[in-house]
Amino acid sequence: MASCRDGWHPAGVRAIVPLPIAVVVLLAGCPRPSTGDAAPVDAAAKTPPETAPPDGTCTSMPPGPRSVRLLTRSEYDRTVRDLLGDTTAPALRSLPVENVLIGFENDGDNHRATPLLVEGYLQLAEDIAGRAMAERRHLVMPCDPGVVGPDACAETVVAVLGKRAFRRPLTDTEHARLRGLYAAMRDPFGFDKAVELVVQAMLVSPQFLYRVDVGTPPATLDDVVLASPWEMASRLSYFLWGTMPDDALFAAAESGALLDVREVEAQARRMLADPRAQEATASFFRQWLGLDKLTHITKDAATFPELAGGAQGSWRAGVDAFVQSVVWERSGTLEELLTSNVLYVDGITAPLYGLEGPDHGGLEAREAPAGTRAGLLTQPGLLALLANPTQSSPIRRGVFIREKLMCQPISPPPPGVVIEPPPADPTLTTRERFAAHTNDPQCAGCHVMIDPIGFGFESYDALGRFRSTENGLAIDDSGELAYTTDPEIEGPFRGAVELAHKLAQSQQVKDCVLGQALTFAIGRVPDADADRCTLDILRRRFNESDSLRELFVAIAVSDAFRTTVAP
C-alpha cells in the first residue's frame, strides 16, 4: 500500500521554482501558495489571470539572450549535413548526451565543454573533414586549384566555407589565422591535406561550435541591443530548423534586412514551409513531452503476453506522427492537438487498439470510435508511458497533465516515504486501490491535485487500451479540475475526452504551451518580470489563432527573441 508516513506536512502547489513551466503560473498571477494548512492551495490561486496590458504599455524592451551556447548533438549533425553534406549524424553517435537543466537540450548554462566533448569535437572534425574532402570535394572547394592556383583556391575556401561555417563573415584575424594554418601545413602535407586541416580547424572553432549572441552595437534601445543580422539569421535557423541558415537567410543577413521585424516575419513564414521546420518542431515536442521515454516503456510480460514482440517503436512513431500531422498537415491548432480522435497505428499497434491495420509496414491514420479518444493525451503510446508495468497509473497521468500542460509543478513526497503503487487486487478497480492516496489526509495535500485528473483516464489500461470495465467492475472515469489558475475549467468532468476539450480551451494551458515554446526558442527560462511584455504579446497572438505555427512566428518576431542585453 502506498504510504505517506511520519512527519509529512501536506503542501499544495510547490513554492515557485524557476521551471520554465512555472513562468506561466507566475504570469497568470498565481501567488505563492500557503502550505501546511487544511486548504491545499491558497484560495488566491483561483483568482482569474490578470489581463494582459494593451500594446504600448510596455515601457522597456525585454532583453533576449546574450550568450554563447554550444550546439546540441542534433544541431551539430544537421549543421554539418547542411554545411558539408555529411549525413552520418556523427555527433549523435559519438558525443555524450547533453547535460540539461531547463528541459531542453539547448540549455545555455548546462551544456558546457568537458574533456570528453573537446576530444570528441577534434575526432569528429577529423572524420567529417576527411569524408568531405574524399567524397564531396566540391562542397569544400568552390574553386579549382589547377585553374586559379592552390593558394588562391585556399583563400577562397577560407572566405567562402568559413563564412558558412562561422555563420558570418570572418574577421581579418580569423581569416589570417586559417590562412596561416593552410600555409604552414601545405609544404609538409600537401595542398589537399592543408585544406582538410583548415576545414578541421573551422569545425573545432568556437564560432562553429557555439551559437554566439552578443548583439550589435550601435542599434541600441535603452539597455538592450538588437541581435546582429547574422546572429538573427542563426537564431531563426536554429529555432525553426535546428540547423544553420540557408543562402536566403544569409542574404537577408548580408543586406541587413533582418534588422527589420517585417523581414524576420517573412523569413519565419518561408522557413516554416520548409521540411526542415518539421525536424525542429519534432525536436520541440520530443523534449517538451519527454517522448524519447516511449522507446523505453517496460510492461510486465506475464500480464501482457500480447506485447511479446514489443510495441515501443510503434508507440513512439504513432505519437510522433500524430503530432506532426496536426501541426503540419491539419489545422495546427492547440485545440486539434488536444481533441483530435485520430490515431496513427501500424501492424503492431492496430490490433492492440481494435483498429484495422495498414496493409503495409508503416503507419496509417485511423479515426477512433466516437467518444473514446481526444488528442495527444489519449495517444496509446503516451498512455502506455504514463502507466505502471502491470496497471494504469492515475498518478503519472495526473502529474503529467499538471506539469506539462498546466505548468503547475507538484510538491513531491518527502524523503523516506515508500512510493509504490498499491498491489494488485482482483476485487477492486485501480481507482479504488489508488483512492488511499486521496483519502489519507497525509497524502491528500498533493494528491488532490493529481488523482482527480488522473482518475479521468481510468478508461485506459496500462497499454492505453480503452476499457469500460476492470476486473468485471464498471470503470468510474469521473474527475475534477481544481486548484488551477483558470476558473473557466474548474469543476467536475467525466472522462479524458471531456477533460481534453476543457484543457484545449484553457488560458492556463495556452500560457503553459507558449512558455515551453519560448524556452525552447531562447534557450533559457523566460523571466516572469523581464519577459512579461513578450509573454503578454505572445499570449494575445496565440489566443487569436490558437495555431502552433503562428506561435512560432510570433516568437520569432518577439522582442525577447530579437534582442540582446547591452554589453
Q: What is the footprint of another protein within residues 104-123 (CB under 8 A)?
A: 105, 110, 112-116, 118-119, 122-123
Contact flags string 28-67 toward another protein, x per CB under 8 A:
--------------------------------------xx
The distance of Cα 430 from the centroid of its chain, to the nearest Å, equals: 32
Residue-wise DSSP of 346-399: -TTHHHHTT-PPPSSSS-EEEEPPTTS--SGGG-HHHHHHTB-SSSB-HHHHHH
Pinpoint the alpha helices (H) of 257-296.
261-272, 275-289
CA pair distance 436, 429, nearest whole angstrom: 12
The smaller minimum CB distance to another protein, of residues 316 and 549, is found at 316
Q: Which of residues 131-160 bind another protein (CB under 8 A)?
A: none
Taking a C-beta distance cutoff of 8 angstroms, is the pair 85, 199 a contact? no
Residue at grid coordinates 509543478: 409
Q: How many beta carbons lie within 10 A of that of residue 361, not counting itself?
A: 8
Contact flags string 421-460 toward another protein, x per CB under 8 A:
x-xx------------------------------------
Half-sphere exposure of 435 (CA within 13 A, CB side): 10
CB of 350 to another protein, least distance (A): 26
The smaller minimum CB distance to another protein, of residues 52 and 214, is found at 214
Binding residue (CB under 8 A) for another protein from 275, 309, 426, 567 = 567
CB of 98 to another protein, least distance (A): 6
Taking a C-beta distance cutoff of 8 angstroms, is the pair 383, 360 a contact? no
Binding residue (CB under 8 A) for another protein from 380, 409, 445, 479 = 409
Query: Which one of the spans 99-107, 136-144, 370-378, 534-542 is the region binding another protein (CB under 8 A)?
Result: 99-107
Rg (CA), the chain: 26
CB of 39 to another protein, least distance (A): 20
CB of 540 to another protein, least distance (A): 27
Residue-wise DSSP of 275-338: HHHHHHHHHHHHHHHTGGGGGG----TTT-GGGTT--HHHHHHHHHHHHHIIIIIS--BHHHHH
Binding residue (CB under 8 A) for another protein from 1, 152, 251, 301 = 301
- Tell me if 217 contacts another protein by CB under 8 A: no
The distance of Cα 175 from the centroid of its chain, to the nearest Å, equals: 36
Burial group, residue 416, by CB count within 10 angstroms (0-12, 13-18, 19+)? exposed
- Tell me if 100 contacts another protein by CB under 8 A: yes
Contact flags string 15-34 toward another protein, x per CB under 8 A:
--xxxx--------------
- Tell me if 98 contacts another protein by CB under 8 A: yes
Query: Which one of the spans 52-60, 167-175, 223-231, 255-263 is the region binding another protein (CB under 8 A)?
Result: 167-175
- Tell me if 184 contacts another protein by CB under 8 A: yes
Query: Which one of the spans 201-209, 231-239, 314-322, 500-508 is the region binding another protein (CB under 8 A)?
Result: 201-209
CB of 257 to another protein, least distance (A): 24
The smaller minimum CB distance to another protein, of residues 332 and 526, is found at 526
Amino acid, single-letter form, for residue 356: E
Name which of 555, 484, 547 is nearest 335 in CA terms.
Answer: 547
Binding residue (CB under 8 A) for another protein from 35, 79, 200, 485 = 200
Half-sphere exposure of 107 (CA within 13 A, CB side): 18
CA pair distance 178, 188, nearest whole angstrom: 16
- Tell me if 183 contacts another protein by CB under 8 A: no
The smaller minimum CB distance to another protein, of residues 197 and 538, is found at 197
Q: Which of residues 224-253 bind another protein (CB under 8 A)?
A: none
Counted residue by residue, the chain has a size of 567
The smaller minimum CB distance to another protein, of residues 554 and 560, is found at 560
- Tell me if 471 contacts another protein by CB under 8 A: no
Taking a C-beta distance cutoff of 8 angstroms, is the pair 163, 174 a contact? no
Residue 179 phi, psi (nearest 5): -65, -40
Query: Which one of the spans 292-300, 428-436, 469-477, 481-489 is the region binding another protein (CB under 8 A)?
Result: 292-300
